Each structure stands twice: as C-alpha cells, then as structure tokens.
Structure 1
Amino acid sequence: MRRLSALAGLALVPVLVMGVFFVLPVSGMLALGLWPDGDFSPFAVLEVLGRPRVGRVLWFTVWSASVATLATLALGIPTAYVLHRLRFPGRTVLRALFLVPFVLPTVVVGIAFKHLLGGPLAALDLEGTPVAIIAAMVFFNLAVVVRTVGTAWEGLDPRSGEAAAALGATPWQVFRTATLPALRGSIISAASVVFLFCATAFGVVLILGGLRYATIETEVYLLTTTLFDLPAAAALCLLQLVVVTLLLYAAHRARSGSGTSVERRAVAPVAIRRRDLPALGIMGLGMLLVTAPVLDLVAGSFRVQGGWGLGNYRSLGTVGEGSLVEASVLDALLNSLRTAVDATWMALLLGLLVSVIVTRRSHSTAERRMRGVLDGFFMLPLGVSAVTLGFGFLITLDEPPVNFRDSALLVPIAQALVALPLVVRTLVPVLAGIDDRQRQAANSLGASPLRALLTIDLAVVWKPLLAAGGFAFAISLGEFGATSFLSRVDHPTLPVIIFRLLGEQGADNYGMALAASVILALTTALVMLVVERLRVPGVGGF
C-alpha cells in the first residue's frame, strides 16, 4: 500500500498537467459537440454528419488516406529492402535523405509541392488536384515505412529464406512464403501510422486542396476560423477522435495477432545482384519524389524578377506596407525558436517523469495495473490530432480559473503535448532496459534514491534524452495544426506566417514565403541531423 501511495504521489504532477491541458480541452470540445445548446443532443452530431459537404469531406479523407497509404507501402517496402539489406556506397547518406521529408514542417511540404506543380511541372495540370495531395502525403510518410520495415528487415534471420531457396523456390516465392510473414507485424505497424498521418494531414491539404478538397482536419479549421460554426467543428472532432481511437486499437490487435515472434540476429548486408534491379528502380522513383520538391523549393527561393538573386532573403526582415502580416519573417523565426525551446523543456521534463513512473518494477498486481493505466493515459495525445487539441484549447482555456488565452505559454504547452508521446516512447525502452538489480545494489550501499537515479539511470538515459529533445524541438518548430488556432496575430510562429504570406497578393510575398520555407526546412533538418548522429536504440523508429 505504501508503494502504491508513493506511485500515486509521483504521478500526481503529470496527471494534473494532462488533466488541465489535455482532458479539459478535449472534454470541452466533446461537450460542445454533444451539448451544443446546453442540453444533451447527440442528434446534433448526426445532423452535422448528414450535411452533403461533410459527407464529401469524410469520403475524401478516407479514400485519399487509403490510396496514399498503399502508394507509400508500394514505394517504401522495396526501398527499405535496398537501404537495409543491400551493400553499396552512399547507403548511409541515402538513409538520411529519405528521413528528411518526415521531419519537414507540413507547411513547407505543401508549399514545395505547390511551387513544383505550378512551375516546372505545370504542363501536367496537377496543381490543386487530389493527385497533388496524395503525392505530398506519400512524400511526407515514405520515411515511416522505410525506417519501420527496414529496421525489422535488417535484423531478420535469413535462414528460412535460404532453406526455401535451396529447395528450389524463386525469389518471389521466398519473399511471399518466408520474408513477408516475418515482416507482417512491422508492415501493419507502418501502414497504420501512415494512414493515421494521412487521415489527419492538415498543412499539406490546406495549401494544396484549398476549399475544394478538404479533410476532417481542414474542415474543422474552416468551420472554426471562417464560418464560426463551433458545434459543427466539435462534432467532426468527436468523429475523428472515435475513428482514430478505433484505428489505433485495430492496429494494436493486428500487430498482436500477426504471427509468432521471429528470431532476430545481426545480418550483414549483401552486394547488389541482378534480381535486385526492380527494387533499385522503385527506390529511384522514391528518391525522385523526395528530392524534386525540395530542390525546386530551394531554387525557387532564389528566383527574383528578371533572374536570380538574394532579394527574397533580404526581404525577410521587413513587413510590407499595407500587408495583413504584422511581423517580419525573422521575428517569426525568433518566435518559433523561443516557443520550440519552451515546448522542448516542457516535453522533456514531463516525458522523463512519465517514463520513470511507467518503467519502475511493480511489486504487486495493483501497482502493475496502475502503471499500465498511467502508461495508456499519457499516450492519449497520440490519438488526438493537433487541430483537435488546438481547438479544445481555444474554447476551454479562456476563462478563469484556467484563463491561458493571452498567455505566452499557451502555444508551447500545446506543442509540448503534441511531442510528449514521442518523448515517452523514446525514453521508455531505454529506462526499461536498465537492470533493476543495479539500483538495488546502489541502495544497499547506502545511496539515496536520488543519487541512484543520477548515477545509474541518468548515465544511461542522457543520450536518448538529447535525441528526444531534438525530436521534440523539430516537431515544435514546424507544428502548424494547434498553433494555427492559438498563435497571436502580432506574435506568429514561422509556419503560421508562411501560410499568411501565401494568402497575400504579390510576387514579393510569395518569394518571401519560399525563402522562409527554406530556412525553416534547413533549421529542422539540421536538428534532425544531430539526432541521427546520436544513433541511440529506440530513437528514430516510428
């Protein structure tokens, strides 16, 4: 009982933080959808779902996410094989190259594809079409499949496949009967994450789809900021919350039932063979998809009237006369950096405390159950989109006793909650891998719990902690979903001001948006390069 009370006391702070800044906003959003006029009215949700436009939005969300997921798997699985099972010069560089799109802010991805399809590829007439949106989704999520499936593939015991080949099986038969069943769990895991990211895509759909092609995320934004139909927006958030929760549960069950455990061993990559040429060709297509929008974005940022130059970059410190943008791009960059720093230390502090709580050894059934409940509770932000969270902040944290509407900490808190699940999932495997007998030995030698924590746990976790901080910083720097609701007009972040510049008339504003996107992408990529260099277990998987 004493240990249970101590666990409850340790969990009090993060539970209170989650209660105020997650449970309260989400509950307020649900209440607005189910109690639109103060009385319980579930039929109000059905009325919203029965609207013709909402039906089209739901259908586009589902089918576009499904097609994008299938296309990502088709490109990602062969690419994972090439990058994780074959040996050739430059393999490490290509791995890093395929990781870059995933860490790019969604606003940058959207503007990169918009510029590519409206410029060099304008003859294809794809700008503003579902093809453009799906291509951007594949670009953004290809790294998920490559990293998740590739990590599983490179540690796969090849002996079963070698035995099948020795019995006369063709390479395709070996893949279908031996390799694919062993990879099924990682493929399902990657597909579920990709579908979730595609279904909740915001920045790329908002920029490339406009009002014609909208997902649930962008429709909530439209209903909130343009039509001011808050009950309808809450109803869509409620539907999305239910669907995402069911998806995560189904993916968990599918992974659990995907087959027996597979023996893993260190396997050296092999040289390229003739039969690997199709996979290499598919990887080439993926590389073209990854590099073309980024290179075109960089080139476009140096285009000025009449030729090439640095004019777009020189204009970043100015505010155009008569512009609706009330801050310069450089001011927005500084705002983003300060906000990301605040969000990072919040996510790390809360994530480290949560990780310590859920990984300590349980001494009773009740204690083990409490840790399991807490672990699930702190992962709830993973199942709620950033748009839903930002909308919840907007409608619930604007009155005493929790009036944070005008607080400078509101945006960092929202971004910290978005990054929290990744921080926890980075630290938990590392802390769980520490032998508890080391702590017991330290205690028996007279070390206090704090000293044991510093000398044993911190010595192991400091490197993953830095990597988790890098991930949290990169996520916060490019976060647009929640920030689009909460950012003040006179204190915008860089993704917000890029989106505003896109809505301004004039080539100068568009050029500034391109230059700002390059700076944001470069800053994020540099942060992730540092994370990738750390190369710690459990970090970098999705």
Structure 2
Amino acid sequence: MAGSTTGSGSSPATDDVSDAVGGDDPARGARDSPDRAVARRRVRDRVERRALTALAVATVGLLLVVFYYPVATVFIDAVVVDGRVTLRVFADIFRDPFYFGELARLLSGVPPATVLASLLSSDPRLGIVGFTVYQALLSTVASVALGLPAAYLLARYEFPGRRMLRSLTILPFVLPSIMVAVGFVATFGDRGTLNAVLGAVGLGPVDLLFTLEAVVIAHAFYNAPLVARVTTAAWESVDASAVETARSLGASPLRAFRDVVAPQIVPAVLMGATLTFVFTFGTFPIVLALGGFQLATVEVFVYRLIRDLNYAQAAALAIVELGISLGVLYGYLRYEARHSVRARGVRPLPRRPLRPPALSVRELLPRVGLAAYAVVALVLFVAPIASMLYASVAGPDGLTLAHYRFLLERQTTGAAFQVQPWPAVRNSLAFGVASLLVALPMGVVVAVLTTREYRGRKIVDAVGMAPLSVSGIVVGLGLLRGLVFGVEVAGWRFAVSGALAIVAAHAVAGYPFVVRTVAPGLEGLDPSLVESARALGASRVRALVDVELPLVWPGVVAGAAFAFAISIGEFSATIVLATGTNQYTMPIAIERFIGRRLGPATAMGVVLLVVTSVSFVVIDRLGGDSYGL
C-alpha cells in the first residue's frame, strides 16, 4: 500500500512540471523537474522584466527604419546634389516667383515697399506657396465658422440624438478623402444633385468644380467637425459655478461669457484652427480631385515633381512645406503654454432643452439661427455622401446597376494596364490588416511609454507623435528613395518591395491614432491596481497584460479600428509608392476612375464606404467615448 501511495501520490504541480519537462523516465522527471522549474521561472521572470524595454527598443528601431530614415532621405536629397552638399536647390526655390510670387523678388534686390505694393494690388502674384497659404487660411476660416455653431449646439443644448451627433464628429478621421471628393463631384458637378435641384426650381446651373470654392467647401467638410469636437470638449469643461458667481456679481450673460467662458474655449478654437491650417496646408487628394493642377498646392506640386523624377526639387519643396507647418504648430503651442486656462471645476454648464415648452423672443433667436445652420450643415455634410450613393445607381433612364456591372466587366475584360476593382479591394484589405498588425503593438507600446513618469517623457512623446506632422507625400517619397530603391550596408544592398513600403507608410500614418485612443485610458487608471499586481509578484509586462490593457480594451479596439480605417483610405503615400506597379488600392482606383467616368468612380466609392463603415461601427460600438481624439 505504501509503495502504491508513493507511486501515485505526486502533487498536480509536480505532474504538470513533469509533463512540461517531457522526459520518458518518470524517475528522472521527478528528479530534474524542481531544478528545471526554478530555472524556467527565473528565465521567464528575466524575460518579462526586460520585455517592455525590448518592445520599446523594437518600436524605436522600427520607427527609425520606416519613418525617420525615409524622412532623413528626403532631407539628404534636398541638400546633396550630384554628390556635393549644397543649398542651391533651396536658393532656386526661394528666388523663383513661380513658388513664392512677389516675395521672391525680395531676394532679387527689389525694395520691400515695391513688393508690398504688388502684394496689395488687385491681382498679386502669390506663387505656389502663397496660394497654398491663402487657400489654407480660407479653409480655416470656413471650418471655424461652420464648427463653432455645432460646438454651441452640442455643448449648450440637450436633444434626442445629441450623443450620436457628437460621435459623428469623428468622421474626418475615418472617411477617406478621395471618397469625399467623389461625393463632392456628384453633388456640385455640372450634372450633380445641386444643379438638378436648382433646375427643378427654375434656377440656372452652378459650376463649382475645379474652383477654389469647391476646395474650401470640401476642406470645411473635413475640418469643421474637428473644430466642433475640440471646442465642445472645452465648453463642457467650463465650471458652471464660475459663471454663476459672475452673474451674481452683476455681470450680464454677454459679460459672463466674455470674461469666464471665452478664455477657456478660445485655446480650443485656436487648436482646431491650427490643426485645420496644417491639414489644409498639406492637402493633396481634395485639391487633386476638385482643383486639379490649375489650383495646385505645394503638396500637389511635390507629387508632380516626383512623377517627373525631379527628386531634389521635390524634396526641397517638401521641406519648405514641413517647415511652415511646424512653425505654425510651434506658434500655437507657445500660445497655449501662456494663455490656456485649465478647468478647475467638476460641474459643467447645464444644457438647455432644444425644444422647451415655451419660448421667449430671447430664447427663440439662437434656435432660429441653429435651424438655419442645420440646413447649411445638411447640404454640406450629408449631401455629398447621399449624392455619391445616388449617382452610383443613377442612369439616363432611371435607377440602374450599370456602374457596378462596369466594375465587374472591367475585372474580367480590362486591359492589364487598367485599374481592376477586385485587386484594388484585395490590396486595400491586405494592406489594412498588415498595417494593423504593425500599428497596434507600436501604438500600445508608445502609449505606455508616454504615460509613465520619467525623465525624457516629453521627448519620447514628441518623437513618437512626429508622424502626425509629416505629410504622406514626404513619407512616401522617403520610402521610395530609401527602402524601395535600396540601401547599401557594408557592400550589401537591401531593398523592400512596394507592398512592404506601402504597409510601412500606412502603419506610420495609423499608429499615432492608436496612441491617442489608448493613452488617455492608461492615464486614467488607478495606480494602486498596478501596485497591487506588482506587490503580488507580477512583472511590469504581466501587470500591463493582465490588469491595464483589459481595463482600457475599448480604447485598444478603437485604436485598431482607426488604424485599419486610415490604411483603407490612405492616398498620399500610396499614390507615390504604387505608381507604375499593380499595388493600387481602392482610393487609387477611385482617383483613376473619377477623371474618366463618374458612375464607376461613385460605385467604387460606395464599396470603399461600406468597407470603411465597418471600422466606424466598431469605433462607435466598442470604442464608445474612450477614444481621446
């Protein structure tokens, strides 16, 4: 009996260790398993202790390869010409009136007073850079003008659907710009829905395509919700007790708004305006589709120089663009550091019902203004998408599926050099999944690094979020000139395919949004949760995986949806890297179709909308309010 007990009475832990050892001899397994278990535990603990550091090093290394090195390549192309370091390319650009208009004459010795008089004339020469600044300023004014009423509505009034409407302000980060351009062509084109409505009421047609007005309106479609979102968040953080105190001291509602509310929302408005200016200054798909080369911005002309193989001038012009954008951002950050007012209270201003039982004249006027704004917003924000959907099934004789049949026929009978729908869809989905697998872990690691207290945290944050300030054209050009063309290291030449370069560009564009959705959740966690896990013996990585990430999982899912959606709609870097290859995506296919036949372009736009909408549903249902954009 004793022998039987000894042979079968080993503990479950010992049995598990023995199984893990995998030996055939039970006696040897029993003899070796405790030592091996201790050794394995030590190795596991050592790996876990260093895992976060290893992940951080891997992320930094990947960023160096797929972002910083390509961008550095662009800088080198601009200052190294024919093997010699020179600033001649920059000098030629600054002296060329084609780029800087009247300001270029300053470097030619023309008196400043003469240049100023020319700039103030009825028809000043602005040049490519000057026109880009001009259209960005107009787009910023339009976006702020359309975004502020929306912020006022969302922050100050309560009504059914308010939360859903607030969620829809995330659309600029999800909808591909080239798809929106198709919607604007379907709305404001010669045969668009706007002219159809005007003709039905006896008014003449309006020709908005390939005009500055169309570009500004399209930019407002994208950026007005951004202004509304950041301003609404600031408005909702205003301390109601401070307003009540001002009113109790005799201040009128207008005076209380000016002295208490305005100082807290002005920095948010300026942040929205600054981001709008930067985004529209580096605009590309909207101008290319709605303005063409006759309204070329710096970004469009950089693409044209790349297509003409003029890499040195393209790189120099891209650096000039980047310098202006970073200068504007730096100016805003300096202002924010000096003038921003942090919310001190926890009780927000109460929202009024949008449809109260009784209305006075004083309460009626703002609601009438909001009703007029709703009509404008309906035309601007809903009509392009609705027009695209309608144009995809509209024909000369009524509703038809001919445009979708054309896509299917192009798939089977199109020439080899023509864009075919299925490869475009397949490539978009493949690039989206691949870039997600890269961007998600990168974003989570950077989010962890930027939410820990240590010296140099701000530098890590700036380095990690730098891709947000660099245009896709610059990243695409750098990847093309660097990794795709090949790099020589110790006599060996390393090069990547166009597909890998596209995945890298998409991951670089998407991972900052993962950071922005995960970091706020990590910062809001109770530190005692992690401390308890560490006190119980969990390593730093184990605490992150088992405690922190499950608690911020909605933010992780939202970040994943952002990364996937951004990859699906990315256009700027993709068109640089896919030119001359068969790696075109749905946005590239739409751009090719839109210049020839609107019907197939709208049909492909609907396909892209369906794919993108899946990501938006994931964000809205699983991400909820956890994302911090």
TM-score for both structures, normalised by structure 2: 0.79
The alpha-carbon distance between structure 1 residues 91 and 6, as it changes in their structure 2 partners (threshold 3 A), is closer
Give matches, 1:187-336, under 5 Å: 187-225=269-307, 227-267=308-348, 268-272=350-354, 273-277=363-367, 278-319=369-410, 326-336=418-428
The alpha-carbon distance between structure 1 residues 324 and 190, as it changes in their structure 2 partners (threshold 3 A), is farther
In structure 1, what residue type is equivalent to 2:395? V
Are the counterparts in 2 of residues 82 and 283 from structure 1 also a CA contact under 8 Å?
Answer: no
Q: How many angstroms does 1:407 deviate by?
A: 4.8
The residue that corresponds to 1:76 in the other structure is 147
The residue that corresponds to 1:365 in the other structure is none
The residue that corresponds to 2:98 in the other structure is 53
Q: How many angstroms does 1:233 deviate by?
A: 0.6
Give a deviation string over 1:173-211, Cα, whole Å, max 9, x none: 433332211112211211111111111111000011111
CA distance in 2, matches of 1:207, 1:427: 34
CA distance in 2, matches of 1:206, 1:166: 55
The residue that corresponds to 1:414 in the other structure is 505
The residue that corresponds to 1:389 in the other structure is 475
- Residue 514 (structure 1) aligned to one of 597, 602, 611: 602
CA distance in 1, matches of 2:340, 2:164: 34
In structure 1, what residue type is equivalent to 2:381? V
Are the counterparts in 2 of residues 78 and 279 from structure 1 also a CA contact under 8 Å?
Answer: yes
What are structure 1's unaligned runs of at least 5 residues? Answer: 363-367
RMSD: 2.5
Are the counterparts in 1 of residues 554 and 626 from structure 2 also a CA contact under 8 Å?
Answer: no
In structure 1, what residue type is equivalent to 2:138? V
CA distance in 2, matches of 1:540, 1:322: 45
The residue that corresponds to 2:19 in the other structure is none
The residue that corresponds to 2:615 in the other structure is 527
Q: How many angstroms does 1:323 deviate by?
A: 5.1
CA distance in 2, matches of 1:529, 1:540: 17
CA distance in 2, matches of 1:475, 1:52: 36
CA distance in 2, matches of 1:420, 1:256: 26
The residue that corresponds to 1:399 in the other structure is 486
The alpha-carbon distance between structure 1 residues 130 and 414, as it changes in their structure 2 partners (threshold 3 A), is same
| Greater mean alpha carbon deviation, residues 174-183 or residues 4-13 | 4-13
Give matches, 1:354-373, under 5 Å: 354-362=446-454, 368-369=455-456, 371-373=457-459
- Which is bigger in relative contact order (C-alpha 8 A, separation at least 6)? 1
CA distance in 2, matches of 1:172, 1:288: 31
Are the counterparts in 1 of residues 187 and 193 from structure 2 also a CA contact under 8 Å?
Answer: yes
TM-score for both structures, normalised by structure 1: 0.91
The alpha-carbon distance between structure 1 residues 125 and 24, as it changes in their structure 2 partners (threshold 3 A), is same
Q: How many angstroms does 1:530 deviate by?
A: 2.1
- State the percentage of identical aligned residues: 33
In structure 1, what residue type is equivalent to 2:617? L
The alpha-carbon distance between structure 1 residues 41 and 287, as it changes in their structure 2 partners (threshold 3 A), is same
Are the counterparts in 1 of residues 234 and 268 from structure 2 also a CA contact under 8 Å?
Answer: yes
CA distance in 2, matches of 1:540, 1:195: 21
* Helix, strand or coil at the partner of 2:341: coil
Tell which structure's C-alpha radius of gyration is larger: 2
Q: Does 1:41 align with 2:86?
A: yes
The residue that corresponds to 1:135 in the other structure is 217
Are the counterparts in 2 of residues 83 and 95 from structure 1 also a CA contact under 8 Å?
Answer: yes
The alpha-carbon distance between structure 1 residues 528 and 421, as it changes in their structure 2 partners (threshold 3 A), is same
The residue that corresponds to 2:61 in the other structure is 16
CA distance in 2, matches of 1:340, 1:264: 42
In structure 2, what residue type is equivalent to 1:269? R
Are the counterparts in 1 of residues 520 and 627 from structure 2 also a CA contact under 8 Å?
Answer: no
The alpha-carbon distance between structure 1 residues 138 and 64, as it changes in their structure 2 partners (threshold 3 A), is same
Give a deviation string over 1:81-139, Cα, whole Å, max 9, x none: 10232012232343344443552111111121122221234512221110110000001
CA distance in 2, matches of 1:518, 1:462: 31
Q: How many angstroms does 1:9 deviate by?
A: 5.0
Q: How many angstroms does 1:42 deviate by?
A: 1.1
The residue that corresponds to 2:267 in the other structure is 185
Q: Does 1:351 align with 2:443?
A: yes
* Helix, strand or coil at the partner of 1:287: helix
CA distance in 1, matches of 2:53, 2:83: 35
CA distance in 1, matches of 2:477, 2:138: 28
Give a deviation string over 1:491-511, Cα, whole Å, max 9, x none: 31100111111234xxxx431
The alpha-carbon distance between structure 1 residues 360 and 173, as it changes in their structure 2 partners (threshold 3 A), is closer
CA distance in 1, matches of 2:51, 2:551: 24
| Greater mean alpha carbon deviation, residues 30-39 or residues 464-473 | 30-39
The residue that corresponds to 1:490 in the other structure is 582
The residue that corresponds to 2:532 in the other structure is 441
In structure 1, what residue type is equivalent to 2:188? L
CA distance in 2, matches of 1:467, 1:254: 31
| Greater mean alpha carbon deviation, residues 384-393 or residues 519-528 | 519-528
Q: How many angstroms does 1:360 deviate by?
A: 2.9
The alpha-carbon distance between structure 1 residues 410 and 65, as it changes in their structure 2 partners (threshold 3 A), is same
| Greater mean alpha carbon deviation, residues 295-304 or residues 87-96 | 87-96
Give a deviation string over 1:51-87, Cα, whole Å, max 9, x none: 3332321111101111111111111111111023201
The alpha-carbon distance between structure 1 residues 5 and 34, as it changes in their structure 2 partners (threshold 3 A), is farther
- Residue 105 (structure 1) aligned to one of 143, 166, 176: 176
Q: How many angstroms does 1:355 deviate by?
A: 1.8
| Greater mean alpha carbon deviation, residues 149-158 or residues 260-269 | 260-269
| Greater mean alpha carbon deviation, residues 51-60 or residues 289-298 | 51-60
CA distance in 1, matches of 2:57, 2:468: 21
Q: Does 1:450 align with 2:532?
A: no
- Residue 229 (structure 2) aligned to one of 147, 166, 180: 147
Q: Does 1:63 align with 2:150?
A: no
In structure 2, what residue type is equivalent to 1:271? P
The alpha-carbon distance between structure 1 residues 408 and 432, as it changes in their structure 2 partners (threshold 3 A), is same
The alpha-carbon distance between structure 1 residues 311 and 449, as it changes in their structure 2 partners (threshold 3 A), is same
Give a deviation string over 1:213-271, Cα, whole Å, max 9, x none: 0111111111111x221111111111112122222222222222224322243434211
- Residue 460 (structure 2) aligned to one of 374, 377, 383: 374
Q: How many angstroms does 1:437 deviate by?
A: 3.3
Q: How many angstroms does 1:301 deviate by?
A: 0.8
Give a deviation string over 1:352-385, Cα, whole Å, max 9, x none: 12222232343xxxxx12x332222111111111
Are the counterparts in 1 of residues 270 and 332 from structure 2 also a CA contact under 8 Å?
Answer: yes
The alpha-carbon distance between structure 1 residues 162 and 124, as it changes in their structure 2 partners (threshold 3 A), is farther
The alpha-carbon distance between structure 1 residues 167 and 111, as it changes in their structure 2 partners (threshold 3 A), is same
In structure 2, what residue type is equivalent to 1:217? E
CA distance in 2, matches of 1:74, 1:497: 34
* Helix, strand or coil at the partner of 1:20: helix
The alpha-carbon distance between structure 1 residues 14 and 238, as it changes in their structure 2 partners (threshold 3 A), is same
Are the counterparts in 1 of residues 431 and 502 from structure 2 also a CA contact under 8 Å?
Answer: yes
CA distance in 1, matches of 2:618, 2:148: 26
The alpha-carbon distance between structure 1 residues 322 and 345, as it changes in their structure 2 partners (threshold 3 A), is closer
Q: How many angstroms does 1:332 deviate by?
A: 0.9
| Greater mean alpha carbon deviation, residues 291-300 or residues 393-402 | 393-402
CA distance in 2, matches of 1:343, 1:459: 23
* Helix, strand or coil at the partner of 2:239: coil
